[in-house]
Amino acid sequence: MPTVQENLALWGERYDWSHAGDGWSLAWGGTEQLWGGTLLPRLQPFLPASTILEIAPGYGRCTAYLKDLAERLLLVDLNENCIEACMRRFSDASNIEYHVNDGRSLEMVPDGTIDLVFSWDSLVHVDAASVSAYVEQLARKLTPDGVVFLHHSNAGQHLGLLSRLLPQRAYLPLERRLNRNWRDPVMSARSFREVCGRSGLVPIVQELIEWRPPRWLLTDCISVATLPGSRHEQPLAVRYNPRFMAEARRLRKTSELYGSP
Ligand SMILES: C[S@@+](CC[C@H](N)C(=O)[O-])C[C@H]1O[C@@H](n2cnc3c(N)ncnc32)[C@H](O)[C@@H]1O
């Protein structure tokens, strides 16, 4: 199970950040395609957003786009080297604030100020208790029409059941085989809805997605939530999307045909 300590050790100075995260966009054909073809269409309804909070930016793969969408952008990451790399990379941008945290706390973010909270490809590796701690604080941080857009683990939906049904000695090797992307084995779309309910957030969209074969194992979830009475409030729409990576492949093929920046 991923812990704060393991995340601190894994993504720290010793990690090979020479690709600044862009290597993780190769399935899309590059970060431009990931951003323009997959993320922006899902974020569009919540833009413009004058103040954006990005949790766990790494070396700024998505920050490079978010900074141009916001008047003010707050970055919070557990690892100091990540925040320092973002400071170097975005030294020309005067609208970014940088914070290193303990993997859970958002105390540096003033209440009632955030229009959009964004996190991509990071919280999937974060334990359910830490994700819940973030979500609990986020209800206080949002402006009245503010929105939370988080990519988190849904592995708990499958593994939770198996861990209850099977004895440890049978479950652990199975978990190793089914959880090759180091997803938190407890967190799920359902846990996100439960913590929203406790914290005063209203979940409005959940897209359960695959990350790598087998396609039927929807290990990840993109969850969107807002505050009651917000202009974005709507009944929860849930989509089971076992063809999420097919979207990435289509974008990659288009970029192979036409070329990419
Ligand atoms: C796989 S990298 C992804 C970075 C970036 N989101 C991207 O897509 O390129 C994971 C990042 O999450 C950060 N991280 C891990 N656990 C965290 C936590 N509990 N709170 C804040 N940041 C965390 C790591 O320091 C690292 O920067």
One-character DSSP codes across 156-175? HHHHHHHHHHS-HHHHHHHH
> Is 79 touching ligand 1 by the criterion CB < 6 Å?
yes
Residue 124 CA to residue 203 CA, distance in Å, equals: 18
- Ligand 1 centroid vs 184 CA: distance in angstroms? 13
> Among the listed ranges 123-132, 134-143, 168-177, 213-222, which one has the minimum average pLDDT value?
168-177
pLDDT computed for residue 178 by the predictor: 76
- Ligand 1 centroid vs 258 CA: distance in angstroms? 32
More confident of the two residues 75 and 212: 75
CB 49 within 8 A of CB 116: yes
> Is 7 touching ligand 1 by the criterion CB < 6 Å?
yes
Closest CA to 142 of 112, 109, 117: 112
- State the amino acid at position 229 in one-letter form: G
Residue 218 CA to residue 47 CA, distance in Å, equals: 27
pLDDT tens for residues 90-116?
999 999 999 999 999 999 999 999 999
pLDDT computed for residue 113 by the predictor: 98
Report the nearest-CA residue for atom 4 of ligand 1.
58
> Is 21 touching ligand 1 by the criterion CB < 6 Å?
yes
- Ligand 1 centroid vs 79 CA: distance in angstroms? 8
Q: DSSP string of 80-127?
A: HHHHHHHHHHTTT-SSEEEEE--SS--TTSPTT-EEEEEE-SSGGGS-
Residue 113 CA to residue 119 CA, distance in Å, equals: 17
pLDDT tens for residues 58-81?
999 999 999 999 999 999 999 999
- Specify the ligand 1 atom closest to the Cα of 76: 21
> Is 134 touching ligand 1 by the criterion CB < 6 Å?
no
- Specify the ligand 1 atom closest to the Cα of 20: 9
pLDDT tens for residues 181-202?
889 999 999 999 999 999 999 9
More confident of the two residues 98 and 214: 98
For residue 196, give both structure tokens.
Answer: 């929203």
- Ligand 1 centroid vs 76 CA: distance in angstroms? 9
Q: Is the per-residue pLDDT at 1 higher than 80?
A: no
pLDDT tens for residues 16-56?
999 999 999 999 999 999 999 999 999 999 999 999 999 99
- Ligand 1 centroid vs 152 CA: distance in angstroms? 11
Q: What is the mean pLDDT of residues 143-149?
A: 98
